[in-house]
Structure 1
């Protein structure tokens, strides 16, 4: 493999443009704010959902899942890939939905060829093929936040770290499947048609969340749906179309910001401020430094009074 995989955010704009850059057409992601089947149905035609949660790093793998049942036969009949590399689970989860909906949507030439190439592979080899795909890795990494301080491809998580994991839920062959690359096989949650998906998947997600302490609120749910602009055009809702186009513009701007780090810019800005203070003469620079120190000391004292302890 020629390079590593960086961490990407669980963000509708990131996922939407990621799959678009992979050649998928007329599909987008929508963030769901509640575990309500009606909210999921309102998103239009739903292909599946991507769920992000805190992964229990100390948990050992069991022969039986905590909910549902392993469907080992399905591993050869649907696209299911084992996760073989850190940080790839977000893209792997969305591909788990898309590659199993090939007949319902346009996944593009590259992904179709990848699916055909790995069609007869066991799940472990599919995972290796995905991890070694230059195209998929490069598109994935293009949406990672730029960081001049951390090499995310080298860091290894420990049991003390907060580790987050993406998995997919979708209806395939009239069954509700949980597709998690860290599990040995797809997990079946029973009969489920495409139309029943919103009503069937929400209780499964609720049961999963209930296994966590009530104080744990760090979950995220994204729905993979048909491009909402298409429906707006079909029904002639110009207001909804304008809102969706505006949302796309904001996503593009946010994605552009993710590709840049601003350390150099901030450094040059500070240099400029210092130069201006030095030009003023008469001790202006020293006065500015002392004023800054006094303000910092005042903030620290106020934080201590409030019971907040500053970290070293």
Structure 2
């Protein structure tokens, strides 16, 4: 069985990931700053947030989470632990999807294959067993790995000397969702989901929770963060708005403009994903040959020295 590759933290990648899995009704949106959660359409469309940060072992050493409290009742929501290396991004997404699809059945569809998987694992009530089953899903693994370019060289595991002596930063993904009027954190490295209490305004209250989390992580010298929102599919939302009765000309113009912007963004995502799926090593080598063919030996050595110093 092939392993799991790392994938990029990117709204376009995550949107294509769930689309390729057969999910309908949701997409992902980059959150450039915390206050953005409360702005414009995002606040009304927001279904959850994926939070990315550098992994640090000290964060997971205590018997309790650094924020919130464990929800040990496995019947309250779906939760699976991460048991496969490099799968934390997709693990976080799956945890969120399986809960959101049950909470918003009229607007979110898992599709036939993911629904079958959900129905199979939902009664396990053992997060590690659920995680192991999801990790062994050929469908999910193949879709996940499709966003990494083919590797023409040996992997880190096959080459014990590659990057020897270099400490690489490892990033981790967790999900935050509203469920039964409470905010839950789904972290596959934890034994249970984390309950952050009731909310009155999901976007505002989640923003406060994330700000507190960032402050706590900064105290432990963790300073890199990334946020990606899970939102209602904007194409569906905007098309619905355009079809409403009584819509004014100005509203129609605004929604049509926003729809075109979203279509343009999807096209750009597709182009970027196509590039991610290809290995350009051969092209780079061919270009290098063309560039260096007219160089003298001295010029070539100078170019190598300059490149190595960058």
TM-score (norm 1): 0.83
Alignment of 1:177-188 (within 5 A): 177-188=184-195
- Kept in 1, the 8 Å contact 2:26–2:232? The answer is yes
Map of 1:212 onto structure 2: 217
Q: 1:212 to 1:65 in 2, by over 3 A?
A: closer
Alignment of 1:238-257 (within 5 A): 238-257=256-275
Map of 1:280 onto structure 2: none
1:198 to 2:207 alignment: no
Q: 2:286 aligns with which of 250, 268, 272?
A: 268
Q: 1:21 to 1:60 in 2, by over 3 A?
A: closer
Map of 2:45 onto structure 1: 45
Structure 2 gaps, min length 5: 243-254
Q: Secondary structure of the equivalent of 2:168? A: coil
- Kept in 2, the 8 Å contact 1:32–1:40? The answer is no
Map of 1:136 onto structure 2: 140
1:14 to 2:13 alignment: yes
Q: 1:155 to 1:108 in 2, by over 3 A?
A: farther
If you compute each CA radius of gyration, which structure gives the higher value, 1 or 2?
A: 1
Q: 1:152 to 1:126 in 2, by over 3 A?
A: farther
1:290 to 2:298 alignment: yes
Deviation at 1:234, TM superposition (A): 2.6
1:126 to 2:130 alignment: yes
TM-score (norm 2): 0.84
User: In angstroms, what is the RMSD of aligned CA positions?
Assistant: 2.7
Name the CA distance, whole Å, in 2 between partners of 1:240 and 1:152.
Answer: 44
Map of 2:277 onto structure 1: 259
1:82-125 C-alpha deviation (Å, 9 max, x unpaired)? 11111111011111111001231111111111111001111111
1:93 to 2:92 alignment: yes
Q: Secondary structure of the equivalent of 2:133? A: helix
Count residues in correspondence. Answer: 288
